[in-house]
Structure 1
Amino acid sequence: MVALKASTHTLLDGEVKVYKRGNSKRWQATFKIDQHWVRISTGKTVLEEAKTVARDQYLEYKFRAKHELPVVTKRFEDVAKLAIADMQKQLDADAGRKVYKDYIKALNLYFIPFFGKTFITSIDHQKIQDFNAWRKRVIGRDPKASTLNTHNSAMNRVYDEAVARGFITQGKVPILANKGEGAKRRPDFSREDYRKMIRKLPHWIEQGKGGKSRDMRHLLRDYVLIVANTGMRPGTEAENLRWKHVTVFEDNGLEYVEFYLHGKTKPHEAIGRAGTIDYLKRLHSRTEAIKDIEFYAMLKQKLDLPVFCLPDGTVTDNLRQTFKAFLTKHDLLICPKTGDNRVLYSLRHTYATFALVNDGMDIHALAQQMGTSIGMIERHYSHLTPRMKKDMFTGKRYELSAEEYAAQKAEGGAGVGDEE
């Protein structure tokens, strides 16, 4: 056994050592927790007082280790892990806010990698500025205001933890600014441009060369119509869509189509507008592997085959380019309200716009249909509020005539439908 110096004292059967450094009047303490050596200053010059502090600190660390909490120093990483553990505990108990998942992700992806070993008391204004520059390089652009709000809230959770545990005083907590770009309006199609697009698609298909080129155009037409009539996400949800995810059912003599969608977010169901079944039937009729099976019988088989595919069953990655070529040819590429190029994702935004303005759909129902949050709907479509409430603002109610109702119904509800 190694002999102890005369200035070293032990507690709790040797688990804790209390000692003095040569140039210090205050007693230090050291002990081992889960193979990790912890060294602390008791802050006391009187031995018995130092022993009391050392004993209390040892028991505190043992408690943390027993409950799978990190062995705490005042380093940012350790405090952040405490905050994460607390948020995760609440999430596991279904008592935490859903946004805690985003806070945890932000801390693990950005804050801990940058601030990790830095003592939380050493993070000042300049260190925050250095972090902002580093984060911009990692992301590749300036974060948007919504991202900064999430990140700042995540960082504040760490500081709340530090203040609560006495690691830092509230007055030393740095102010986190939000100078990010606000939620930008997204390009969509006006009702007039949408009608122009669906009128031009059939003729454009006929102008195409035979073979795969024309097959691509046929596929694009139905892809456009289905996305615009469901609000599904182009790319993720559309690419994952299989025939087994499509269900047709009847209610009160009316036929409905339901899609089970999964991609960017957790899975959700979406109902297609009137006419969507017809677009699915066209896709079915062009797919060699299933076209000879009656449509409704095919749906009942719940086949694990892609809905959006070429006749030979292959899935293409070139719809974006084909769509851009079509929009360019027909002077529809630029959204006049945003100045940005329209893309396939603009069809999803068009669905949301028409649902809010023309259908009067409430944002709670729209958020559920589109598999997104109410907050996201509010941020990106708040500019529609005056048009949504135009009748209230003008003091009148607008009722459709029989002719107008029939015209909208033929177009798929609120002006989002098939060719005229």
Structure 2
Amino acid sequence: MGSHYILGDKVRIYRRENSSVWQAQARLEGKKWRVSTKTDSLAQAKEFAEDWYFELRGKSRVGQLTAERTFADAAKQFLLEYEAITNGERNPRYVKDHAARLRNHLIPYFGDKPLSQITAGMVQDYRIIRLQPNADTGKVPTRSTLHHETVTLRQVMKTALRHGWLAHLPDFSAPYRASGKISHRAWFSREEYKKLYTYTRERAKSAVGLNWQHAAEQLHDYILFMANTGLRPDEANSLEYRDVTLDEGEEGDDPILLIEVRGKRGVGYCKSTHGAVQPFKRLVERNRPRPTDLVFPQDHKKQFNRALTDCDLKFDREGNRRSAYSLRHTYICLRLLEGADIYQIAKNCRTSVEMIEKHYAVHLKNTLDARAINVRRKA
């Protein structure tokens, strides 16, 4: 259906492709002004557009007519505020990821759109376009990638709302989506973990004198260190020797490592188990580092995946793929099975109790007291 004009030709009413809602457009002070009538009824759209135009005319007479802010304006303000406010509290990489999503995807699609025109329908149109296979690679973004883009989009729109550039937030939820399954993170049971580190230990011994001896020894200590600290892989990748301190504790206590962690949530702290001490001492002795050297300067991904394949541990019993992150999950699960306090684990791992209960509770069966569960009231 074509365009319709009211008030002579001062206001144009039209519909966008694949949309049933009428839009209104007018020209005042040398600029084009657009608004959604939010109705699919032509008669109601004409009434709305007429009122809207006279309101614009009134603002123009008193000098209050200013152009509506666009998504690009809000995105610029968001990045300016976010980097300043979260300085030191968020990993700089996290801030850069927001900027990359805006630059590569969100601004090219939403950038010139007035904020009031960004509706739930437009957000869904964006998702559909993003889910089209890439012309060069044939790939489509993962659900996680789209989720992160939606988070960035929401943050920008919330910035606009705070500044009064927007009356309300649109609905960002994905329609037709069933309730997501709560995934149980892939980890290693005690037997599986022992099988893995026994393999890497023997492999490191067999590499003595060969050109890959250093890499094999580093991988073995990496596995032991990660499974006894609960660090995220990105936290371990940025860890420097000066961030790690040996704590002998009081008399009779086992020594542990005190670690200053820099990761996605800024700076946090971690106390390792005793099992991380000897691997770290070997790393120091082997590498003779300066305080600012990285503890794990090499990427162990290929080596680690090979070890998982050789040990037949690449997937858990539910089909979840294991990765270096599984060592963190192993740390959490084993601590829970030993009866450690869930709040202390959450604090030590720089996460929340809710996240641990949501993703790891399935592994708590051994901690349940059967006598407490099956208690019978006396008659």
Q: 1:112 to 1:52 in 2, by over 3 A?
A: closer
Give the distance between the partners of 1:347 and 1:76, measured in 2 at CA.
41
Give the distance between the partners of 1:335 and 1:38, measured in 2 at CA.
61
- The CA deviation at 1:151 is 5.8
Q: 1:376 to 1:90 in 2, by over 3 A?
A: farther
User: Is 1:177 matched up with 2:174?
Assistant: yes
- 1:18 alignment counterpart: none
- The CA deviation at 1:159 is 8.9
- 1:245 alignment counterpart: 243
Give the distance between the partners of 1:121 and 1:188, measured in 2 at CA.
46
Gaps of at least 5 residues in structure 2 are 1-6, 12-25, 35-51, 87-94
Structure 2 SS opposite 1:277: helix
Q: Deviations over 1:155-210 (max 9, x none)?
A: 87479679x77868x9xx56742538555333210112112233344333333363
The answer (yes or no) to whether the contact 2:69–2:114 under 8 Å persists in 1 is yes
Give the distance between the partners of 1:388 and 1:113, measured in 2 at CA.
52
User: Is 1:117 matched up with 2:84?
Assistant: no
- 1:57 alignment counterpart: 64
User: Is 1:306 matched up with 2:289?
Assistant: no
Please, what TM-score do these two structures have when normalized by structure 1?
Answer: 0.59
Residue of structure 2 aligned with 1:380, choices 342, 354, 359: 359
Q: Deviations over 1:280-303 (max 9, x none)?
A: 22223323x46xxxxxxxxxxx72
Matching residue's letter, 1:357: L
- The CA deviation at 1:225 is 0.5
Give the distance between the partners of 1:334 and 1:323, measured in 2 at CA.
13
- The CA deviation at 1:270 is 1.2
Written as runs of structure 1 = structure 2, the 5 A alignment for 1:154-193 is 154=155, 157=158, 176-177=173-174, 179=177, 182=181, 184-193=183-192
Q: Deviations over 1:85-130 (max 9, x none)?
A: 99869958xxxxxxxx899769845544322223455556653332
Give the distance between the partners of 2:341 and 2:293, measured in 1 at CA.
33
Considering only CA atoms, is the larger Rg found in Structure 1 or Structure 2?
1
Give the distance between the partners of 1:176 and 1:307, measured in 2 at CA.
41
- 2:91 alignment counterpart: none
Give the distance between the partners of 1:23 and 1:339, measured in 2 at CA.
62
Please, what TM-score do these two structures have when normalized by structure 2?
Answer: 0.65
Q: 1:320 to 1:39 in 2, by over 3 A?
A: closer
Give the distance between the partners of 2:150 and 2:181, measured in 1 at CA.
11
- 2:369 alignment counterpart: 391
- 2:40 alignment counterpart: none
- 1:267 alignment counterpart: 267
Give the distance between the partners of 1:150 and 1:190, measured in 2 at CA.
34
Q: 1:357 to 1:265 in 2, by over 3 A?
A: same
Q: 1:111 to 1:261 in 2, by over 3 A?
A: same
Matching residue's letter, 2:313: L
% identical equivalent positions: 23
Q: 1:155 to 1:201 in 2, by over 3 A?
A: closer
User: Is 1:337 matched up with 2:327?
Assistant: no
Written as runs of structure 1 = structure 2, the 5 A alignment for 1:342-357 is 342-357=322-337
Matching residue's letter, 1:387: K
Matching residue's letter, 2:61: A
Give the distance between the partners of 2:73 and 2:196, measured in 1 at CA.
56
User: Is 1:321 matched up with 2:297?
Assistant: no
The answer (yes or no) to whether the contact 1:107–1:155 under 8 Å persists in 2 is no
Paired residues in the alignment total 321
